[in-house]
Structure 1
Amino acid sequence: MTDQPAPSFVRTDLIPDRPQPIKTTGFSAFLWTRLLNSPGNALLTVVGIVLLWFVIVPAIRFLLVDAVWEGQDRTSCLAADVGQSIGACWPFVRAKITQFIYGFYPEPERWRVNLTFLLAAVLLLPLLVPRLPAKGLNATLFFVAFPVVAFFLLHGGGISGFGVSWTVGFLSSFADGVGNAGRQLAASGGAGGIGSVLRLLGNTFLWTGDALNSVAWPLTSLRDWLQNSDQPVWYDLACTGVIVSLLLFLLNGAFRTGWRALLMSLMTFVGIGLVVAVMHLDRGGLPIVDTRLWGGLLVTLVVSVTGIVSSIPIGIALALGRRATIPLIRVFSVAFIEFWRGVPLITVLFFATYMLPLFLPGNFTVDGLVRVLIGIALFAGAYNAEVIRGGLAAIPRGQAEAAQALGLSYWKTTGLIVMPQALRHVIPGLVNSFIALFKDTSLVSIIALFDLLGSLRASFADPTWATPTTLFTGFAFAGIIYFVFCFSMSRYSLFVEHRLNPHGRS
């Protein structure tokens, strides 16, 4: 029997050994797989290293190596010999650090600013840690109670009345303003169709003002009794607590399910009473510090935090209004968003500071800082509305249809199903708006509010520290502060984004 040759598809020799796998861990592997894996990447790596060398090395030399760390005046930051290299003048920062933080806030009262910062940190940090309990109570304290306490801590003063007096004063001023506008419109209406429309609109405003005065009549009588009988603020606080608690009790189901709302309301007013007693608000309170004396990091944080927190509900309302089926609401939301997005922030600040008082009733005034806060909140809310609308558009229509099939109302569908998913999708966009708003607070210095950069520029006028490096040192210090806050917001947003990602890490 002869040997048959092997078929052509059968290998007669051994397969050669495969090359050793490329190492994918360690510093050397990172260099060869990420930076030097192709001629183009190698060229970009070399160019990047050269650029970093010419940027980072001089910055480190200026800020650390050649910097001056000790001194009492400008002489310590001047070069002793010709050609000597002098870096950052850190004694200047140490001498002006209180001005950078507090502005022109009176020195004996700066403990109030420190206490406000401490309360904000104590209430905010538990909100940022997901595993800590009592998020609802913590959020209520931070978003509702803390702004009131911070206002009286920073501004000072007492309270001449409480909810009844404040509510009646606001309603009366608003009703007077509406009535005056109605009388002016009615008087300006001439002959023709336009005159008839103006008279009709003016009569409508007059009727609205009279209706508001009629609604406020019981509260006005109660307010007059409290003031004429010279009752202490505790009577006003008690009346306000009873009225608000009863309203919440009735709105939450009365005798069936309203007991919890009643108890929470009463506990809240008891807490308000404790704050009033501790801060002596019923006896004049703390010394008043005008907002024109505020400055530095205090103003930056007040403006940015208030704008960020208040712009979210405004943006949500406008985003939902722009998608509404009611034409009036949709047109108003579109016009509002396009108007505020079409004007620069500087114009908004000038309008809020100098033009807004012209539209208010004569006996109704608003503090300059409050006007700025309102303008920034509306401006940021218009931008956030478009970001949130993008998140709403990313939610499939089947989500809302399934909720409606289960019998959920529009508000429950939006609040429990659609909006949480939409907000999760737009976390990067919202945080981007927050970071931009935090940096845009430097524009308030144009309207005589000295934020961090405004206080920094004011400190340059001190001849005691007039050196060639003072300007660069101050701006480097301010840049570090801005970077720390913005980078912290960016990293925390990544943490929240990964935690809320239902499909695992992206």
Structure 2
Amino acid sequence: MSDQSMHSPVVSSALIPAMAPPADVWPGPVTWMKKNLFSTPSSGALTICFLLFAVWLLRHFLSFAIFDAVWSGGREACRTNSQGACWPFIAEKFDYLRYGAYPVFERWRVDLAQAIGAILIVWLLWTKAPRRKVAALLFFLVYPVAAFVLVRGVAWLHLSVIDTTLWGGLLITLLMSIVGIVFSLPIGVILALGRRSELPFVKAVCVTFIEVVRGVPFITVLFMANFMMPLFVPDYLTPDRLLRPLMELFSSAYMAEVVRAGLQAIPKGQYEAAKALGISYFDMMRLIVLPQALTIVIPSIVSTFIGLFKDTTLVAIVGIADFLKAIETARVDPNWAGPTISSTGYLFAGLVYWGFCFGMSRYSQSMERQLARGHKS
């Protein structure tokens, strides 16, 4: 053995500290733009075209909504301005857009009901909030009854009864969308489980309901519920006009297919392992299968909720004064005749609908990120 080999240093692997894998490093704005926006000549050309179009669109939007808009001065200022929005019109009609024809001196009941609902929703959706099960119990069981009593009124509580024909505006839109969202998911889960059931009768009923509802336009359902149902049902059994649209049942058929896709994505080994451990069908679905299935299809569930929220505008066809119908009624007021009144009203409606839909979308994305971190940890 040579002297060089005898005196060569020996490095022990125990002295080398363990290092964590390199974290994802953002490449920087220039590198990111070269990779994602200008990777090829055609990609760069499309990027420039879309950027110019976005700048042009944003410029016109800001000019109409802010820079050239009328912010004060009332009707006369809006009549003489044909370049920008008329925001005094929205300020004047804001109460009508929120409540419809609901009596002025009783609108505090609507405000109180909406405030309680907002608090419960924030409590329920805040993942770090304490006692979320209590919030779910209050929101799904107690709040619907309390809100109905508060908004509709009962004589024995000395609350005057307000007929639903006077309800309108954002009150109707939020009411119908919340009711539809709350009931469409559990009904959709039941229909999805029934469609996958091994009982022929249960499966046939669920499949028939889902396919019939998904094959019929929602406008047809609205006309049938509002005009045909009273012809076949006695007057004392005819549901209120707000219950006739049956949006939760219509949406539940689409929700059932979304949930079914999540159930089919679960590996069979999950079912077999649960059965091998002697877990009952109800506990298997409640504790193992459904949590995973619903997590997989969160984007599709939220997309269905967003579609349901926007579909509330269709109830105006059968005479229910929702938020968009209130906009249309307000814009034809001859006292506010002006060149940009209609555009201002529809712009405000679009911003309101976008705000709610964007909020639901962002919350679903945050939930996806939290669940992804939970799976990786």
TM-score scaled by length of structure 1: 0.67
Separation in 1, partners of 2:255, 2:376: 27
CA contact 2:79–2:337 (8 Å) conserved in 1 = no
Matched, 1:438 2:303: no
Match of 2:281 in 1: 410
Distance 1:69 1:333, change over 3 A: same
SS of 1:295's partner is: coil
RMSD: 1.7
Paired AA for residue 40 in structure 1: S
Matched, 1:289 2:162: yes
Separation in 2, partners of 1:24, 1:116: 46
Separation in 2, partners of 1:32, 1:377: 47
Unaligned runs of at least 5 residues, structure 2: 1-24
2:217 to 328, 337, 344: 344
Match of 2:122 in 1: 125
Matched, 1:400 2:275: no
After superposition, residues 289-438 of structure 1 pair within 5 angstroms as 289-372=162-245, 375-438=246-309
CA contact 1:348–1:376 (8 Å) conserved in 2 = no
Q: What displacement does 1:30 show?
A: 3.7
Matched, 1:104 2:106: no
Match of 2:148 in 1: 151
Q: What displacement does 1:448 show?
A: 0.9
Aligned length, in residue pairs: 352
Separation in 1, partners of 2:102, 2:197: 46
Separation in 2, partners of 1:480, 1:93: 12
1:473 to 344, 355, 360: 344
Matched, 1:33 2:35: yes
Q: What displacement does 1:54 show?
A: 2.2
CA contact 1:318–1:382 (8 Å) conserved in 2 = yes
Query: Could you give the per-residue CA deviations for residues 67-95 of structure 1, whole angstroms, max 9, x where no partner exists?
Result: 0000222x211337xxxx52001111111
Match of 1:60 in 2: 62
Distance 1:362 1:55, change over 3 A: closer
Separation in 2, partners of 1:300, 1:306: 10
CA contact 1:102–1:295 (8 Å) conserved in 2 = yes
Paired AA for residue 37 in structure 1: S
Match of 1:249 in 2: none
Structure 1 window deviating more from structure 2 (35-44 vs 129-138): it is 35-44
Q: What displacement does 1:62 show?
A: 0.5
Separation in 2, partners of 1:28, 1:325: 57
Separation in 1, partners of 2:49, 2:195: 48
Q: What displacement does 1:402 show?
A: 0.9
Match of 1:208 in 2: none
SS of 2:236's partner is: coil
Match of 2:50 in 1: 48
Choose 1 or 2 for highest CA Rg.
1
Paired AA for residue 104 in structure 1: A
Match of 1:263 in 2: none
Considering Cα pairs closer than 8 Å and 6+ residues apart, tell me whether 1 or 2 has the greater RCO: 2
SS of 1:357's partner is: helix
Separation in 2, partners of 1:139, 1:447: 33
SS of 2:171's partner is: helix
Q: What displacement does 1:354 show?
A: 2.1
Structure 1 window deviating more from structure 2 (283-292 vs 485-494): it is 283-292
Separation in 2, partners of 1:424, 1:140: 22
Matched, 1:451 2:307: no
Paired AA for residue 484 in structure 1: G
After superposition, residues 155-166 of structure 1 pair within 5 angstroms as 155-158=152-155
Q: What displacement does 1:304 show?
A: 0.5
Unaligned runs of at least 5 residues, structure 1: 1-22, 159-282
Percent of aligned positions that are identical: 46
Match of 2:77 in 1: 76
CA contact 1:321–1:333 (8 Å) conserved in 2 = yes
Matched, 1:496 2:367: yes
TM-score scaled by length of structure 2: 0.90
